[in-house]
Amino acid sequence: MSRRVGIVVRLDKRDLWQARERRGKNLSGAAVHHGQAKQLHAARATVLDAAYAEHPERFVRKPPAPPELPTAAWINKPADTKEAAAH
């Protein structure tokens, strides 16, 4: 006779820290909010430069570069630019 066993999910501080660390390696809204975007962008550029230096044959068209950092992000961008500048 088989029984269904429920799975209990338990998150402790270590699990949340590990999840945040993994996610922290990507550019996210939290990284922008906490002022880490430029640092992460520079780190990505360093890694891409090293990859190109070691294997230039993998990059046929041009050396790799991280995407440009966004200047603003809007959910509903105001039509009036004065209002946009005020935020």
Global pTM?
Answer: 0.55
What contacts 29, CB < 8 A, 6 or more positions away? 73
Q: Return the pLDDT at 11.
A: 59
DSSP letter string, 10-31: ---HHHHHHHHHHHHTS--HHH
H or E element: which one contains 76? none
CB-CB contact of 52 with 59 (8 Å): yes
Q: Return the pLDDT at 47.
A: 92
Q: Return the pLDDT at 24.
A: 44
Closest CA to 43 of 18, 69, 62, 72: 69
Confidence of residue 17 (pLDDT cuts 50, 70, 90): low
Number of other CB atoms surrounding residue 6 within 10 Å: 5
Q: What is the pLDDT of residues 24-59, one digit of tens each?
A: 456 777 777 788 889 989 999 999 999 999 999 999
